[in-house]
Structure 1
Amino acid sequence: MAEIHSPTPLYHRIYAVMRERIIKGYYPSDVAVPSEAELSESFSVSRITIRKAMEMLTAEGLVTRTRGRGTFVNDRTKENKLNRAVVSNINGLFSYLNAVGQSTRLKVISLDLGEAPPRICAQMGVSPTTPLVRAVRVRFLDKRPYSLSIAYLLPEIGQTLKRQDLATTNMIDLVQEAGATVEQVEQTLTATLADDYAAKHLEIPVGAPLMLVNRLFFNADLKPFYVAEIFYCADRYEYRVSLKREDGKDFSLGN
């Protein structure tokens, strides 16, 4: 982890990144998080720094540390009752993706087949051991990284992808060319912080603010077949929605 001039202590920046990972379901509750040694190597910091960060997470009740077993994320299965889907038209999303594709260029980081993170498997409704195709790309706008996109696809769709096509074509066009019908998309936007992987590819410091857009695509049978996680630099991304009141659909707030 490259050191930068910041008034925030290094251990606190590690804590902030680990906290975001835990809240976003990066680590399953039934599997130990990486050890201090592994995290130390991943973030390129000392084990003392990692230990201080983990102590903060423990004090906050996010993890439990047990001698001889390791550190485990505490169960966070209760969902906020205010988290609910807003139904809109899918054509607007496709138009937006097309506009982004025309104004940016792509760099393919990787294309492989393997196990996906538990949070992705849960979204897709597949076993944690199910192999998924993963495609990682960085979009550039004005010669600077604009977004980091990590796509997970079922093999019957993903194995048709080719690196040369990923470098020039929007993923939504590629999956439809592969025979998939996009019937429904669920989109979630959350604020997050850059971990070491995102920081490297977006050329920003670890702990820098990001906007995470998660899109879950359903086929004609309303079965998930594709998940996209897109990390946008917070200072370069704006998401705008225009809402209109439908004629004759006045409402009042209940007590």
Structure 2
Amino acid sequence: MIAMSSPTPLYHRIYAVMRERIVNDYYPLDVPVPSEAELAESFTTSRITVRKAMEMLADEGLVTRTRGRGTFVTDHAQKSRFNRAVVSNINGLFSYLNAVGKGTRLKVVSLDRGEAPPRICAQMGVAPTADLIRSARVRELDGKPYSLSMAYILPAFGAGLTRKDLATTNMIDLVQREGTTVEQVEQTLTATLADEYAAQHLKVPIGAALMRVNRLFFNAEMVPFYAAEILYCADRYEYRVSLKRERGKDFLLDDSRNP
């Protein structure tokens, strides 16, 4: 993917991807980020290029670099005080997922057991070393990648999954088929940039704009048992919400003038 033409220098694209990871809690505060050599191998480039990107992050105050210890994250994006949940009916989400499933084709990338990224472990309330069922799938629309979805499931709810299942059925249908009841779903949408893994499977350049949808599923006991992270190509995805006024629920945006 590095060979793709782009007007943006490679070191700046690596900086942009690493910055996006940092501000979205990809790396824990107490664990060093991958070394220059590891990042150079990951991005298929030289250590000099990676070093320039990391120096930009250090100059911005997002990481500290210490000889002999490594590079550590020092800051995370501030959470906006306007980040408030909007409550809606879960059936609308399931209808949407069903429609997407009928209009696209699934390609299974992987299915295994292992650790999840720290941000996923924090959301699910499990230890960073917890053993989870992991899968990655690409959805294709009209023969081209539409989305890349990563799933992380507690073994008690996903141990029976097979690659054949994943190639034909929505994940939420699979876990419910095993007897799990979905009581609540928390969904977050954010803009992000393609890292090397996403770029490879979505066939976009590293640093390309993507839409990330994170969904956390709770069972009847309100235990988060399944986390989904879906990356959509920005030019092929639209999220639309219809909002209606509810009778008797009017309110003022600013009631400071009404003592």
- TM-aligned CA deviation for residue 4 of structure 1: 2.6
Q: 1:55-114 deviations in whole A, cap 9, x for unaligned?
A: 111111111111111100114385322212111000000000000000101011111001
Match runs of 1:116-131 below 5 Å: 116-131=116-131
Q: 1:181-222 deviations in whole A, cap 9, x for unaligned?
A: 100000000000000000001111111110000000000011
Question: Is 1:181 aligned with 2:181?
Answer: yes
Residue 216 of structure 1 aligns to a residue in which SS?
A: strand
Unaligned segments of structure 2, at least 5 residues = none
- How many Å separate the matches in 1 of 2:111 and 2:39? 25
Question: Which position in structure 2 is the counterpart of 1:141?
Answer: 141
Residue 123 of structure 2 aligns to a residue in which SS?
A: helix
What is the letter of the counterpart of residue 180 of structure 2?
Answer: A
Question: Is 1:92 aligned with 2:95?
Answer: no
- How many Å separate the matches in 2 of 1:159 and 1:22? 31
- How many Å separate the matches in 1 of 2:210 and 2:78? 25
Question: Which position in structure 2 is the counterpart of 1:220?
Answer: 220
- How many Å separate the matches in 2 of 1:161 and 1:4? 36
- TM-aligned CA deviation for residue 166 of structure 1: 0.5
Question: Which position in structure 1 is the counterpart of 2:203?
Answer: 203
Match runs of 1:12-27 below 5 Å: 12-27=12-27
What is the letter of the counterpart of residue 190 of structure 1?
Answer: T
Matched residue count: 255
Question: Which position in structure 1 is the counterpart of 2:59?
Answer: 59
What is the letter of the counterpart of residue 24 of structure 1?
Answer: N
Residue 110 of structure 1 aligns to a residue in which SS?
A: strand
TM-score, structure 1 length as denominator? 0.97
- How many Å separate the matches in 1 of 2:4 and 2:162? 38
- How many Å separate the matches in 2 of 1:163 and 1:7? 39
Question: Is 1:102 aligned with 2:102?
Answer: yes
- How many Å separate the matches in 2 of 1:36 and 1:165? 39
Percent of aligned positions that are identical: 75
TM-score, structure 2 length as denominator? 0.96
Unaligned segments of structure 1, at least 5 residues = none
The 10-residue stretch of structure 1 (73-82 or 162-171) with the greater mean CA deviation from structure 2: 73-82
- How many Å separate the matches in 1 of 2:139 and 2:5? 27
- How many Å separate the matches in 1 of 2:153 and 2:68? 37
Question: Which position in structure 2 is the counterpart of 1:234?
Answer: 234
- Determine if contact 2:11/2:50 at 8 Å carries over to the other structure: yes
Question: Which position in structure 1 is the counterpart of 2:165?
Answer: 165
- How many Å separate the matches in 1 of 2:136 and 2:7? 33
CA 1:12 to 1:24, structure 2 compared with 1: closer, same or farther past 3 Å?
same
